[in-house]
A and B are shown apart, each in its own frame.
Chain A
Amino acid sequence: AQKITQTQPGMFVQEKEAVTLDCTYDTSDPSYGLFWYKQPSSGEMIFLIYQGSYDQQNATEGRYSLNFQKARKSANLVISASQLGDSAMYFCAMREDPEGGGNKLTFGTGTQLKVEL
C-alpha cells in the first residue's frame, strides 16, 4: 500500500486564487511528521511547511497552510493568493517514528501546479 498518496497529477489555478493540493497518508505509528516540498523546473526541492502528528493546530507559513485532519489521515496543502512563481511540482512527504527510526522521508508522486493569468 502507498504510504503517501497524491491523487492530483496536475492542477490549474488562476493568479490570486487559493488552491488546495491533496495528500493522504497511511501509517500505524502514533508519532510521525508530514512535510510539503516545492520543486520548480530547476529541480531543487524547497521545504515549505511541516506538521507534527501531535501538533494541536494546523501549521501555517506565510501563504502556505496545512489542513491536517488526523482521523482522515489527510494533510492537504493550501496556497492562498496564488502567484505565477508558485507554478511547480509539489510533493507531500512523511517521516515515521522520528525518535527512534531515523529521519527517513517517504514521498508521494507529486502534483504539478500551473498558475495562470
Chain B
Amino acid sequence: DGGITQSPKYLFRKEGQNVTLSCEQNLNHDAMYWYRQDPGQGLRLIYYSQIVNDFQKGDIAEGYSVSREKKESFPLTVTSAQKNPTAFYLCASSISLGLAGGREQFFGPGTRLTVL
C-alpha cells in the first residue's frame, strides 16, 4: 500500500539527548514536511523540503534539524537545543508544486515524543 510511515509511534528520551524521528513515503512525492502539534493546538511547520538535497525552515525550526538525501526519506532530529521538545510530530508529503490541483498534503500516523 502507498503511504507514509513514521516510527516509532511513541518515543521516550532523557533531557539533553538528541533524537531522530523517521519519516518514509512511497507515494513518489517530491515535497515533504514536518509539523509539531501541542495539546489543544493546531499544527506548526518545522521544516519542509521541495526536492532532494534541499530544505527550508518553517515557522518553528529552532532546535531541530533535517536532511533529505533520498526522495523517500525526510528524518527529523530533535536536538538538545529544543527547549520544549515533548509534543506530537507529524510528517507529510505532497505532489510537485508545479502541477495543477489542490496539492493536498498526505500525513503519516505521527510520533509522540516525551522527554523526561
Contact = CB atoms under 8 A, between A and B. Distances in A.
Interface residues of B, number: 27
Contact of B42 (A52, A103, A109): A109
B interface majority secondary structure: strand
Given A107-B43, A109-B41, A35 B102 contact: yes
A52 B42 CA distance: 21
Interface stretch (A14-22, A41-49, A67-75, A80-88): A41-49
Interface size class of A (residues with CB under 8 A): 20 to 34
B103 A43 contact: no
Contacts of B48: 102-104
Given A45-B92, A102-B97, A103-B94, A50 B110 contact: no
A7 B41 CA distance: 13
Given A42-B109, A103-B31, A104-B58, A91 B43 contact: yes
Contacts of B110: 43-44
A104 B45 contact: yes
A91 B42 contact: yes
Interface in B57-116: 58, 88, 90, 92, 94, 97, 102-110, 112
Interface in B6-33: 31, 33
A43 B43 contact: no
Contacts of B2: none
A6 to B, nearest CB: 8
Given A50-B102, A104-B58, A43 B42 contact: no
Contact of A102 (B42, B50, B107): B50
Interface of A: 4, 33, 35, 37, 42-47, 50, 52, 91, 93, 95, 98-99, 102-105, 107-110
7 contacts: A45-B92, A45-B107, A102-B50, A103-B94, A105-B45, A108-B42, A109-B42
The 4 A-B residue pairs with the shortest CB-CB distance in the complex, in nearest-first order = A107-B42, A50-B102, A45-B107, A43-B110
Interface of B: 31, 33, 40-45, 48, 50, 56, 58, 88, 90, 92, 94, 97, 102-110, 112
